């Protein structure tokens, strides 16, 4: 591996990065003024930067490196597949063994009768596929007016025109004139931030009933689908109240609309089951997958649809949709190897039986910290809400997002990658994180919270 070692000094890389690289979701000038962190290698749950500093990655990259870094099996599979068949398309009446094998594997793995797979290169593209799939489905059933897709405020479904339109983030809609037509958004089940005086269960029901109200407002004949993440990830690890999903499922069953579960984050073990739909007992018609499908080792996403949806699509003539890299052989082969490891090493089982309960116990103790208004966790994802007055679930009204940014910067100083979403701190570590590493995560989080608290006091923000 010596030949891969980077020889370029950090400052030089940072200068070149600033000169030629536009970063996603980044204030370019602000980043370039300080220089990007250069990550050169990683193993297990640890990243190593260009100066040899080891950092605990409590985000699994971007919620994706479920099996952890540094698995040589995936590299070998990729190299072998590249030698044998690096690329061929699946457009023109052709297929290849890795895409066939992965489709069969997913059909067996995903619950219910979700047994047909349409591939993409990412979660965003898969959600774009879902928009066209859902509308084509209803057109093929002679119901072409059923076009509107209902989503939720503060949802994240990707960054393409379709994905960002399905998403409910107003800052994203503001860039590029979104959403595209026939997509609407209802309230999110964010009890901590928006539940007011209601108890959790009552609030969960109110949020779910908003779907029925929206269907009534639009007219059922105009609604194609409802899309939602089982647990909102990028929105701040928002775990819905227990009453939410059963009512959503009832509403979807009672009305003629498709349910799309976006499992891009929740899928492949994140919530303690293979899929979020199992954790919340939902029966979607379509799911979106990406990220943990390959543990991020190769870009790949997909829409997995029910036998009924597949039958209608297959019978509906040409579905004029696809990507050059739909069913890319190397990505499919790597995904298969990733699924083999997740399965044979019982990684999801270990999360459910051992490490997630341990994380939950430790994470919830953070709620005792004076700065923490709530600590919530679902499987291997969690959030803590920073609050100036925890008894009242108060927000930082003076300078929203500042406390989160301060805390995130202290985390980095303490060699911990944790994300800030506004004034909530979120984690989604690799599923292979050990108890010892969870202790390290908790210790570094506590240290960062202490440092944040004292800075906030000095700045009279608390
Ligand atoms: N759906 C969900 C639920 C996601 O979380 C996507 C779709 C889009 O996937 P791609 O592969 O196109 O990125 C995502 C992606 C963050 C962050 O900062 C989250 C995502 C991506 C980038 C950043 O939390 N989620």
Distance CA 103, CA 118 (A): 9
pLDDT at 1: 43
DSSP character at residue 351: I
Instruction: Tell me, in angstroms, the distance from the centre of ligand 1 to residue 172's CA.
Output: 13
Is residue 130 within 8 Å of residue 288, measured between CB atoms? yes
Is residue 263 within 8 Å of residue 237, measured between CB atoms? no
Inter-axis angle of helices 329-344 and 72-84, to 10 degrees?
A: 150
Mutation probe of ligand 1 site: the residue of 63, 65, 154, 235 with most atoms within 8 A of C-beta: 63
Distance CA 37, CA 156 (A): 25
Region class of 256: left (phi > 0), else alpha (psi between -120 and 50), else beta: beta
Tens-binned pLDDT, residue by residue, of the chain (462 aa): 445 678 899 999 999 999 999 999 999 999 999 999 999 999 999 999 999 999 999 999 999 999 999 999 999 999 999 999 999 999 999 999 999 999 999 999 999 999 999 999 999 999 999 999 999 999 999 999 999 999 999 999 999 999 999 999 999 999 999 999 999 999 999 999 999 999 999 999 999 999 999 999 999 999 999 999 999 999 999 999 999 999 999 999 999 999 999 999 999 999 999 999 999 999 999 999 999 999 999 999 999 999 999 999 999 999 999 999 999 999 999 999 999 999 999 999 999 999 999 999 999 999 999 999 999 999 999 999 999 999 999 999 989 999 999 999 999 999 999 999 999 999 999 999 999 999 999 999 999 999 999 999 999 888
Query: Which runs of E-coded beta strand occur in 154-274?
Result: 183-186, 223-228, 258-262
Q: What is the 3-class SS of 423-457, one letter each residue?
A: CEEEECCCCCCCHHHHHHHHHHHHHHHHHHHHHHH
**CATH 3.80.10.10 for the 73-344 domain, yes or no:** no
The separation between CA 274 and the C-alpha centre of its own chain, rounded to angstroms, equals 14
Is residue 229 within 6 Å of ligand 1 at its C-beta? yes
Distance CA 105, CA 113 (A): 13
Closest protein CA for atom 18 of ligand 1: 234
The sign of the dihedral angle between the CA atoms of 301, 188, 58, 341 is: negative
HSE value, Cβ hemisphere, 13 Å, CA-based, for 237 = 27
HSE value, Cβ hemisphere, 13 Å, CA-based, for 364 = 9
Instruction: Tell me, in angstroms, the distance from the centre of ligand 1 to residue 11's CA.
Output: 30
Burial letters 48-83, b for 16+ CB under 10 A, else e: ebbeeeebbbbbbbebbbbbbbebeebeebbeebee
Is residue 156 within 6 Å of ligand 1 at its C-beta? yes
Instruction: Tell me, in angstroms, the distance from the centre of ligand 1 to residue 31's CA.
Output: 21
Mutation probe of ligand 1 site: the residue of 149, 265, 296, 382 with most atoms within 8 A of C-beta: 265
Peptide bond into 313 cis (omega under 30): no
Q: Tokens 């928006």 identify what position?
A: 194
Rg (CA), the chain: 22
DSSP 103-155: HHHHHHHSSTTEEEEEEESSHHHHHHHHHHHHHHHHHHTT-TT--EEEEETT-
Instruction: Tell me, in angstroms, the distance from the centre of ligand 1 to residue 279's CA.
Output: 20
Instruction: Tell me, in angstroms, the distance from the centre of ligand 1 to residue 176's CA.
Output: 18
Is residue 154 within 6 Å of ligand 1 at its C-beta? no
> Where along the chain do its domains lie?
73-344, 346-458
Q: What DSSP element (H or E) covers 381?
A: strand 381-386
Largest Cα–Cα distance in the chain?
Answer: 67
Name the phi and psi angles at 120, rounded to 5: -145, -175
Burial letters 129-168, b for 16+ CB under 10 A, else e: bbbebbbbbbbbeeeeebbbbbbbbbbbbbbbbbbbbbbb
pLDDT at 416: 98
Distance CA 295, CA 288 (A): 15
Is residue 442 within 6 Å of ligand 1 at its C-beta? no
Pairing label, strands 381-386, 424-427: antiparallel
Fold of domain 346-458: 3.90.1150
pLDDT at 2: 46
Pair of tokens at residue 53: 């500093």
Task: Please state, as a whole number, how many other Cβ atoms lie within 10 Å of the Cβ of residue 97.
Answer: 14
pLDDT at 4: 65
């Amino acid at each position: 591996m010596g030949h891969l070692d980077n020889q370029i000094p950090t400052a030089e890389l940072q200068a070149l990065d600033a000169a030629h690289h536009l970063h996603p979701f980044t204030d370019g000038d602000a980043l370039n003024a300080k220089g990007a962190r250069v990550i050169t290698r990683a193993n297990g749950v640890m990243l190593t930067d260009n100066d040899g500093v080891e950092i605990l990655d409590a985000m699994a990259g971007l919620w994706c490196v479920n099996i952890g870094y540094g698995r040589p099996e995936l590299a070998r599979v990729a190299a072998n597949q590249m030698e044998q068949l690096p690329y061929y398309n699946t457009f023109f009446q052709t297929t290849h063994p890795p895409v066939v094998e992965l489709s069969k594997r997913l059909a067996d793995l995903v619950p219910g009768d979700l047994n047909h797979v349409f591939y993409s290169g990412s979660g965003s593209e898969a959600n774009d596929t879902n928009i066209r799939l859902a509308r084509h489905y209803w057109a093929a059933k002679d119901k072409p007016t059923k076009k509107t897709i209902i989503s939720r405020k503060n949802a994240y479904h990707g960054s393409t025109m379709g994905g960002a339109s399905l998403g409910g983030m107003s800052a994203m809609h503001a860039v590029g004139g979104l959403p595209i037509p026939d997509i609407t958004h209802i309230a999110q089940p964010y009890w901590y931030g928006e539940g007011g005086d209601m108890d959790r269960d009552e609030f969960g029901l109110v949020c779910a009933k908003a779907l029925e109200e929206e269907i009534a407002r639009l007219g059922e004949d105009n609604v194609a689908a409802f899309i939602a993440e089982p647990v909102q990830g990028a929105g701040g690890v928002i775990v819905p109240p227990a009453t939410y999903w059963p009512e959503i499922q009832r509403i979807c069953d009672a009305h003629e609309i498709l349910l799309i579960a976006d499992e891009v984050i929740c899928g492949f073990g994140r919530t303690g089951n293979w899929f979020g739909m199992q954790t919340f007992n939902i029966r979607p018609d379509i799911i979106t997958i990406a990220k943990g499908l390959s543990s991020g080792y190769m870009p790949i996403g997909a829409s997995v649809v029910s036998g009924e949806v597949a039958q209608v699509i297959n019978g509906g003539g040409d579905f004029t949709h696809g990507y050059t890299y739909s069913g890319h052989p190397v990505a499919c082969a790597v995904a298969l190897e990733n699924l083999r490891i997740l399965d044979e090493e019982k990684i999801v089982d270990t999360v459910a039986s051992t490490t997630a309960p341990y994380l939950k116990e430790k994470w919830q103790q953070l709620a005792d910290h004076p700065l923490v208004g709530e600590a919530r966790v679902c499987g291997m994802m969690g959030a803590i809400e920073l609050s100036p007055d925890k008894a009242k679930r108060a927000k930082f009204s003076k300078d929203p997002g500042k406390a989160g940014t301060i805390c995130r910067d202290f985390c980095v100083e303490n060699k911990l990658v944790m994300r800030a979403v506004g004034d909530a701190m979120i984690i989604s570590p690799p599923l292979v994180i050990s108890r010892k590493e969870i202790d390290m995560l908790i210790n570094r989080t506590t240290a960062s919270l202490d440092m944040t608290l004292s800075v906030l006091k000095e700045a009279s923000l608390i």
